[in-house]
Amino acid sequence: MKQTVKLIVGNWKMNGLAADLAGAVAEMLADLKATPASARAGLCPPATLIERMVRAIDGGPIAVGGQDCRVETKGAFTGGVSAGMLVDAGATMVILGHSERRQEFGESDALVSDKVGAALQAGLMPIICVGETLAQREAGEAAAIVRGQILGSLHDGLTGQDWALAYEPVWAIGTGLTPTLDQIAEIHAAARDAMIERLGDGGRTAPILYGGSVNPGNARDILALDEVGGALVGGASLKAADFLAIIRAA
C-alpha cells in the first residue's frame, strides 16, 4: 500500500545532552515551522531529555518518544522506566524491541509483545522493531526471521491503534550498509503479510518504517518504495541538516 504521509522518527540512542536542544533541535524546529513538512516527524531522545525536549518543542511539529519501557507500571525495578512515566514526561510514542535491546538485554518476542501491551495501555504509539542478522540473511532466512519476530512481537490490542513496524536489518544499523531497494521491498512485503497473518485487517494500515543507515543520500529512493511508510533514523537524526533532509525527502 502506498502511504502518502510518511513517518520519520529519529532514534538518538544513548546520545544527547541539554545543549542539543538549543542546538540541533532548535534548528530542526525553526526549519519545520518556516516550511511545514509533508511527513510526520518524531525524535526519541534518552529518557533524561524527554521532558526538556517536549518543552523545547512546545507543541511544534516534532513528536517526542521513548526508546524502551518496562511492562510493569511501577515498583522495585531499579533503573526501569514505565510507559506511564514516558507519557507523564510528555512522550507520545515509544520504540520497542530495538535490535540493540534484543541483543544487549536478551529481549524476546514475548517480552516485546508485553511491552507493546503496556505502551498501548498508557496511550503511547508503539514502534515495534524487527530485523535479521547478517548470518541469517546469508543463510537466506531474512523473510522467515522477520515473519517470526512479527508473529511473536505484535499484540492483539494493536488493531485500531496508531502504531508502526520498523524493519531494521541488524547488519545495516550504524554500518553505512543498506540492503538493495529490491531487498527492502521484498522484506516490507513479507512483513505486511505477517502483520495481516497476525492481526487480520488490523495489520493492513500501520506504516512499515525502514531503518539502518538511512541518510540524506539514500532516503529519497528508499522512501519512494510502495510499502515503505517512513524511516527510523539513528546517526543521521543527531544532525539537524541531515535529519531535515531525510524529512524533506519523504
Using rule CB under 6 A, residue 82 touches ligand 13P: no
98 given a catalytic annotation: yes
188 given a catalytic annotation: no
Question: Measured from the CB of residue 73, what is the shortest distance to ligand 13P in angstroms?
Answer: 25
List the x/- string, 130-169, binding to ligand 13P by CB under 6 A: --------------------------------------x-
Question: Measured from the CB of residue 10, what is the shortest distance to ligand 13P in angstroms?
Answer: 8
Spatial separation of the C-alpha atoms in residues 164 and 160, rounded to whole Å: 12
Q: Which residues are registered as beta bridge partners of 40?
A: 7
List the x/- string, 22-61, binding to ligand 13P by CB under 6 A: ----------------------------------------
Question: Measured from the CB of residue 66, what is the shortest distance to ligand 13P in angstroms?
Answer: 13
List the x/- string, 177-216, binding to ligand 13P by CB under 6 A: ----------------------------------xxxx--
φ, ψ of residue 11 to 5 degrees: the values are: -105, 105
3-state secondary structure of 97: coil
Pairing between β-strand 125-130 and β-strand 164-167 as defined by DSSP bridges: parallel
Active-site pick, 98, 107, 155, 227: 98
Using rule CB under 6 A, residue 11 touches ligand 13P: yes
DSSP string for residues in 117-165: HHHHHHT-EEEEEE---HHHHHTT-HHHHHHHHHHHH--GGGTTS--EE
Count of residues of this chain found to bind ligand 13P when the rule CB under 6 A is applied: 14
* Location of C-alpha cell 541531515: 242
Burial 180-193 (b: 16+ CB within 10 A, else e): eeeebbebbebbbe
φ, ψ of residue 219 to 5 degrees: the values are: -60, -45
Binding ligand 13P (rule: CB under 6 A), the pick from 1, 30, 48, 174 is 174
Binding ligand 13P (rule: CB under 6 A), the pick from 150, 232, 240, 244 is 232
Other beta carbons within 10 angstroms of residue 55's beta carbon come to 11
Other beta carbons within 10 angstroms of residue 62's beta carbon come to 24
Using rule CB under 6 A, residue 65 touches ligand 13P: no
Question: Measured from the CB of residue 161, what is the shortest distance to ligand 13P in angstroms?
Answer: 21
> Residue numbers of the site for ligand 13P (CB under 6 A)?
11, 98, 168, 173-174, 211-214, 232-236
